[in-house]
Amino acid sequence: MINKIPRLGAGNRALILGVTLAVSSAANAQTFGYEESESSAEQARDVAITKDHKDGGSQQRQAAVMAGDVRKEERAPAVTESPDVSRTPATALIDNDSEFDAIVTQVARQAVDRVALLDGQSRSRVVAASVDLVQRFVIVRLDAGFVPATYGPAFEDQVSLINNAILHVAEKVEPLRGVKYLYGGYDIHHYFPEIKAADDKARRAGELRRMAEESRAARREAAAASDGNVDKELIHLLEREASRKVSAHVQANNVLRVIGVKVTIDVSRQRILADIGEGYRPEPDGDEMFLQELAVTLRHHTEKTGLAISGVDIHFQGKPLEYYYPDELRVPEQALRRSVNQSALVSSGHGLVRVHPHLSWEWQRPDAFGSREDMITPPFGDELQRLLEARSGLTVHRARSRSLDLHPESDRPWEQMSSRYHLKDVLPQRADIWNSLPNDMNNDREVREDIRARPLYANHLDAGTMISLHTNGHETNVPRGLEVYYHFSKAQDRPLAESVLCNMREIIRAQPGYEQFPVRNTASDGRHGENRIATMPSVLVEIAYHSNPDDFAALQDPVFRTASMKGVEKGVRLFREGKVCEPFKLNRLPDVSMVVGSSQELPMTFLGNPQYPVTMEFTIANCSTPGACKATQTVFDDPAEPIKANMRCRGVLAGIARWSVVLRDVDGVVTAPVEFQQTCHKPGAA
């Protein structure tokens, strides 16, 4: 029986998980068990499991015994805790990730040592486990010799036994999604590629069936909602506008065709579905900007009628684009990441690209008021890099160059070039990053390679976060405002998108002149290649509309640039810290009554995540004796220092002061004023 776990380092508390583990000094086989209680009543109920596994018969029972989760009829010992932590949550006893990893490694080592070896297996000399608290997986690293000669049910049962043992202990600290194994640095599919091929084929078939069914259900629901709640004239307008835009886009490529578009609106889900008919279906990652503008058009016209729209889905001949390109548009497996990853990639769109077949160098975005997105976004990237390094302490990489030297092929400054060519220069041997579509014959091939190069570079860097900065555009100058996108198939990235959007809203609207700047209520799901291909949390920020004169003026304003990028940085930082964006709010203050000549401290408690230093500002709402009350400002530099006011009643004069108090952080975010009353009275006259 294993009694307790040793201390895992100076200053760390022993970890008691209800079940506890340590390396036994006895010669007999190690086992998992519950810590025994010192009370006689618990000892009376504690019956050790002594029956040999062979008598039990099934592997299921062996798994239950190893996991310490034997069925009640087998008289499992009662789960008890050591007296000194009997009311302390297990998570409170974990000092850091390395301590948790040490516990899980110990459990994994014992579990691996217990299982019977299969044909071709040798006992793994290395057993190391770690817990990814972001993706919520345990990663177990073993020797390649632990790979069996064949893959089959016996091996799956063996893995299941080890899984049960690890998760039984680890999930007492954190809820986890499962266990992943690396054998000599590779997953099991490296050794049995035929298993991966079969799994991929089955998964693809399942995804296609799911997408087809979701598409049919979405059309049915949207049609029902449209018929019952949406003005048919609005539907007619949307279909006419969508058909006009799609047909013009196709005809611009010398294809004379009118493309029909069927539009439905699901009022309950606040979504538009545009189903484009025969004659137009883009390549993977193709026409992203056109499809974005089409979605903006449909949303803009609909919202003018008073209907709220949270997203726009675009299908092609009844199915999403992923149906036609399941391999090309599949979301790659997300990397297992820890919060300690101190790096980020900042990508500023777009830049010059070479257009085939005539190989001319062209901007990716049109001129707007004498400028264009390609050169508006890099200074925003500079500001975001500075803030991420100074405030978040991150190492920041850039997808585009900021050099003024000439790019030899185009004879244009490097800062004008898109990411594809910068990455070709930086990583000439990694053509798979910057030349990922070598066999593509379309004239926009290098445009799509540029889109793909940015997240592929982030994956190469093993960055912890990817932020793509863009400005939005439309054929009219009406739509405006800030939007943040995450990929619809990466719902795990939505909290990052919501955090960035929320904090940008807070800081931008705290600046004079931008109090009413338009910001979407929630983050939007999209299909951007930058977000899809990235294997880390990634979002795309549409800072403002360069096609709108008011937004364009904001994009040229250094105040707006700094405020918006402070919001992005703060959103990333709070997401990494597991904090939720909430309004900066000063809590209610009680009235105070004091004897003249005395003083009293008044704590200022608040909600939100202000950027320090924070200033406490007192202004006079009313003063019973003119001149006796004085407005003050006090600066607090240290977030660990409580914010409090030192209330005084000077001299011998009695009276009443009514104060109005706000807290203002260094970014200009200010709480709503809170009033309270201070009464100074003579002794015995309260």
- pTM value? 0.69
* Distance between CA atoms of residues 148 and 157, nearest Å: 13
Task: Give the dihedral sign, CA 422/427/428/434.
Answer: negative
DSSP character at residue 91 = G
Q: Which helix (H) or strand (E) holds 663?
A: strand 655-665
Ranges of residues in the chain whose predicted pLDDT is under 50: 1-95, 226-227
* Whole-number pLDDT of residue 170: 86
DSSP character at residue 417 = B
* Distance between CA atoms of residues 356 and 359, nearest Å: 5
Tokens of residue 134, six digits: 């972001």
* Whole-number pLDDT of residue 66: 36
Distances (CA, A) of 34 to 4, 76, 157, 235, 289: 9, 9, 24, 65, 59
387: closest CA among 570, 243, 516, 194?
570
Grouping H, G, I as helix, E, B as strand and the rest as coil, residue 662 is: strand
* Distance between CA atoms of residues 522 and 142, nearest Å: 43
β-bridge mates for residue 186, sequence order: 183
* Whole-number pLDDT of residue 455: 97
DSSP state letters, 160-201: HHHHHHHHHHHTTTS---EEEEEETTB-GGGT-HHHHHHHHH
319: closest CA among 269, 275, 280, 375?
275
* Whole-number pLDDT of residue 270: 92
* Whole-number pLDDT of residue 80: 28
* Distance between CA atoms of residues 301 and 295, nearest Å: 10
* Distance between CA atoms of residues 65 and 60, nearest Å: 9
